[in-house]
Structure 1
Amino acid sequence: MELVNLKDASDAVTFAEAVKKGLGKHQGLYFPKKIKPMDNIDELLALPLVERSIKVLSHLTENELPAETLESIVKTAFYFEAPLVQVKENVFNLELFHGPTLAFKDFGGRFMAQVLSKITDGAPITILTATSGDTGAAVAHAFHGIENINVVILYPKGKISQLQEKLFTTIGGNIHTVAIDADFDACQQLVKTAFDDPDVRDGLHLNSANSINISRLLAQVCYYFEAMSQVPAEKRKDVVFSVPSGNFGNLTAGMIAKTLGLPIKRFVAATNLNDTVPRYLKTGEWAPNKTVATISNAMDVSQPNNWPRIEALIEQGYLPKEILQGDAIDEEYTQVAMKQLAALGYVSEPHAAVAYRSLMKDLQDDEVGIFLGTAHPAKFRETVENVLGQPISLPQALADAVAKEAFSADLPNDYEALKAHMISLLQDKQ
């Protein structure tokens, strides 16, 4: 498989190289040089999740990984379901929170961890990643205990839910967490700066597990196929996906699935008040505002890293621009949507509620709407209980995490402070 740096076409790598590097030169994203459509989509959709995902990922990576290796990776990574749950007539939620950390990022995080463990042959690696909530837990649990891999997770202090924080700051071992006194965009920038610093990038053998890593992105393609497999064949050409969007990896994966031949009619990029993309789609002007804190905090991103990949799909002629529309939902209507879903008998957290609200604003009578449920409602228990006025119980994974002691360092939004901390922490482990 050949991937090209979207900022420097001369920087071309294999799938394994892209996974190990994370980011390319000039902080560029790696993207497939060519995406070939798949044949026999209906036959694929008749297969079970794991068997189908092996075929999809083998096709995307152009058989770069040996068949037995890829089969082992997928079977280990995707051991949980992704059910399509009906909310009302022709409207469904794709529940992506049945993995070990109760969030959609378990798909990408576990796949990446297994890939890296197979292709690095025991060489030391430091995973440096930023999280706006769910990535941290998914990455921490996926990499915990893997030999020769250390993980450093940056997160915005006081800007993610306490339950989200507990899921990844209580693990210890090879998982190291740092609370940064800033917002998520600042955490992302610290990660990018580290990749441009040879002392850290080369000295600590740096890699990233954010959705900028191509392995996470390709893994997420698989659950769009899983969703469509649960839609009656005669309705598949009328499916609209509404995707709660922060860093835009989730939506990018859906658009790759469409490029492969999945018969998705169109997409809605649903954001909260951090509406850079919806405004851009309407005006053509890329004008990020200062990040605003919202109750859908995992989407509090004003400069989404994955957007260049979506633009590449459109500019390279894979998909028409019209297939995507953007919509921003404010705090009031996020809560309205949560109450509307509860009235239908479905308890939702804020991110899925944003996607539901955007979907319902323009879904046509002859269309089937699917909005993505990216996290279990209990991960946002305080918000859900406050909005709905009813208690919700904690799944066992969360209940266990709450009782544990957190291990986390506090640092200012200062790269030199982070660099010194990482070198002190990890240099003797390389």
Structure 2
Amino acid sequence: MNLYNLKDSSEQVNFQQAVKQGLGRGQGLFFPETISPLENIDALLAMNLVDRSTEILSHLIGDELSKEMLHSIVSKAFTFAAPVKKVTDRISALELFHGPTLAFKDFGGRFMAQCLAHFKDDGRITILTATSGDTGAAVAHAFYGMDNIDVVILYPKGKISPLQEKLFCTLGGNITTIAIEGTFDDCQAMVKQAFDDQELKKTIGLNSANSINISRLLAQICYYFEAFAQLSVAQRENLVVSVPSGNFGDLTAGLLAKSLGLPIKRFIAATNENDTVPRYLQNGHWSPKTTIATLSNAMDVSQPNNWPRIEELFAVKGWSLSELGYGKISDAETKVTLVEMDKLGYLCEPHGAIAYRELTNQLKDNETGLFLCTAHPAKFKESVEAILGRGIFIPEALAARADLALLSKEFPADFAKVRELLMAL
């Protein structure tokens, strides 16, 4: 698999290099040089998740990994289901929260960890990542206890839910968590600064597990095929997929699935009040505002990292951005939607509710809808219970960590302080 740097096309790498390097020169994202359609989609849809995902990933990655090795990696990474659940006669939910950290990030985080464990040499690796909630837990648990791999996670202090925080800030060992006095965008900016620091990169073997890492995106492609496989032939006709969008990695993966030949009619990018992309699609001006804290905190991102990949994909495929649906949903609308969904018999959380709401706003009479549920409602226990006026079940994965002490350090949004900690590792 050959990939090029979107900011410097002269920098070209293979899959292994892209996984180990994370970002290219000038903080550029790596993008596949070729995306050829898959053959016989129907045969793929008849396979189970692991076998199908192995075929898809082998098609993309090529001979850098044997199919046997890739099957072993996928088998270790995808050990949980991604069921499609009916919500209304025309709308279903793709539940991506049945992994160990109860969020869609488990797919990408675990696949990346297995790839990196396979590719790594005897040197030490330091994973540095920023999280607005779910990435931190998925990455921390995927890499926890791995030899010669340190993980450092930056997150905005007080801007993720208490149970989200407990899930990854109570591990210790090779996992270091830092609560930054700022926003997710501040955390993300410091990760990018670190990758521009050549001395730091070389000294600690720096890598990133954000959705900027190509391995995570490739893994996420697989659950779009899994969702499609679970739908009836009638439901697959004129399928519209609504994606709750913050850093836009999930939507990027869905669009890549479409480019491989998965016949999804169109996508909707559903955001909260941090609506940089909806405004851009409406008026053509890229004008990020100060990030606003919302109920859907994992989407509190004003400068989404993966957007350049989406623009590149549309350009390469000759698609028009006017074909991409979009919309923003306020906290007030999110609350009303959660209550509405609960009355339908479906328990959801703020991110999924935003995707559902925007889907109902835009779905046409002849279309079928699918929206992504990216996290378990219990990860947002306090807000969901307050909105619904009742208690909700807490899965064991969360309950087991709820009373543990936080091990996080607290830093100002100061790269020098973060750099000092990284060098001390």
TM-score grouping bracket, smaller chain normalisation:
over 0.9
In structure 1, the residue matched to 2:145 is 145
SS of 2:203's partner is coil
| Separation of aligned partners in 2, 1:70 and 1:414 | 40
| CA displacement at 1:236 relative to structure 2 | 1.5
**Alpha-carbon contact 2:132-2:299 (below 8 Å) kept:** yes
Give the letter for the 1:302 counterpart. Answer: S
SS of 1:372's partner is strand
TM-score, reference length from structure 1? 0.98
In structure 1, the residue matched to 2:421 is 421
Large movers: runs of 4+ above 2 Å = 317-323
In structure 2, the residue matched to 1:101 is 101
SS of 2:251's partner is helix
In structure 1, the residue matched to 2:128 is 128
| Separation of aligned partners in 2, 1:86 and 1:319 | 31
**Alpha-carbon contact 1:221-1:253 (below 8 Å) kept:** yes
SS of 2:87's partner is strand
| CA displacement at 1:19 relative to structure 2 | 0.3
Give the letter for the 1:32 counterpart. Answer: P
Structure 2: stretches of 5+ with no match in the other structure: none
**Alpha-carbon contact 1:265-1:323 (below 8 Å) kept:** no
Matched, 1:178 2:178: yes
Matched, 1:190 2:190: yes
| Separation of aligned partners in 2, 1:238 and 1:315 | 23
| Separation of aligned partners in 2, 1:283 and 1:52 | 40
In structure 1, the residue matched to 2:300 is 300
In structure 2, the residue matched to 1:73 is 73
SS of 2:401's partner is helix
Give the letter for the 1:162 counterpart. Answer: P
Give the letter for the 1:183 counterpart. Answer: T
Give the letter for the 1:117 counterpart. Answer: A
In structure 2, the residue matched to 1:341 is 341
TM-score, reference length from structure 2? 0.99
Matched, 1:215 2:215: yes
- Per-residue deviation, residues 266-316 of structure 1 (Å, max 9, x unmatched): 000000000000111111111111100000000000000000000001111
SS of 1:402's partner is coil
Matched, 1:199 2:199: yes
- Per-residue deviation, residues 341-396 of structure 1 (Å, max 9, x unmatched): 00100111000000000000020121110010000000000000010001002100
In structure 2, the residue matched to 1:242 is 242
- Per-residue deviation, residues 48-87 of structure 1 (Å, max 9, x unmatched): 0000000000011123212221111000000100000000
In structure 2, the residue matched to 1:327 is 327
Give the letter for the 2:193 counterpart. Answer: T
SS of 1:405's partner is coil
**Alpha-carbon contact 2:112-2:216 (below 8 Å) kept:** yes
**Alpha-carbon contact 1:259-1:318 (below 8 Å) kept:** no
| Separation of aligned partners in 2, 1:109 and 1:158 | 24
| Matching of residues 266-305 of structure 1 within 5 Å | 266-305=266-305
| Separation of aligned partners in 1, 2:129 and 2:94 | 26
| Matching of residues 218-237 of structure 1 within 5 Å | 218-237=218-237
SS of 2:265's partner is strand
In structure 1, the residue matched to 2:18 is 18
- Per-residue deviation, residues 229-282 of structure 1 (Å, max 9, x unmatched): 011123313110000000000000000000000000000000000000011111
Matched, 1:91 2:110: no
SS of 1:203's partner is helix
Give the letter for the 2:381 counterpart. Answer: R
| Separation of aligned partners in 1, 2:160 and 2:399 | 17
**Alpha-carbon contact 1:259-1:319 (below 8 Å) kept:** no
Matched, 1:159 2:151: no
Q: Identity over the aligned pairs, expressed in percent?
A: 59
| Separation of aligned partners in 2, 1:205 and 1:394 | 38
SS of 1:138's partner is helix
| Separation of aligned partners in 2, 1:191 and 1:38 | 35
| Separation of aligned partners in 2, 1:224 and 1:216 | 14
**Alpha-carbon contact 1:22-1:208 (below 8 Å) kept:** yes
Q: Which moved more, 1:10-19 or 1:310-319?
A: 310-319
Give the letter for the 1:18 counterpart. Answer: A
**Alpha-carbon contact 2:281-2:321 (below 8 Å) kept:** no
| Separation of aligned partners in 1, 2:293 and 2:60 | 36
- Per-residue deviation, residues 395-421 of structure 1 (Å, max 9, x unmatched): 000000112222111110001111112
Matched, 1:383 2:383: yes
In structure 1, the residue matched to 2:358 is 358
- Per-residue deviation, residues 182-232 of structure 1 (Å, max 9, x unmatched): 000000000000000112111111000000000000000000000000111
| Separation of aligned partners in 1, 2:233 and 2:7 | 40
| Separation of aligned partners in 2, 1:99 and 1:144 | 15
| Separation of aligned partners in 2, 1:63 and 1:323 | 34
Give the letter for the 1:288 counterpart. Answer: P
| Separation of aligned partners in 1, 2:330 and 2:212 | 27
| Separation of aligned partners in 1, 2:361 and 2:35 | 32
| Separation of aligned partners in 1, 2:180 and 2:362 | 39
Q: Which moved more, 1:399-408 or 1:106-115?
A: 399-408
**Alpha-carbon contact 2:107-2:216 (below 8 Å) kept:** yes
Q: Which moved more, 1:205-214 or 1:308-317?
A: 308-317
**Alpha-carbon contact 1:41-1:262 (below 8 Å) kept:** yes
Structure 1: stretches of 5+ with no match in the other structure: none
Q: How many residues align?
A: 425
| CA displacement at 1:319 relative to structure 2 | 3.3
| CA displacement at 1:318 relative to structure 2 | 5.0
**Alpha-carbon contact 1:122-1:147 (below 8 Å) kept:** no
| Separation of aligned partners in 1, 2:198 and 2:51 | 41
| Separation of aligned partners in 2, 1:112 and 1:122 | 18
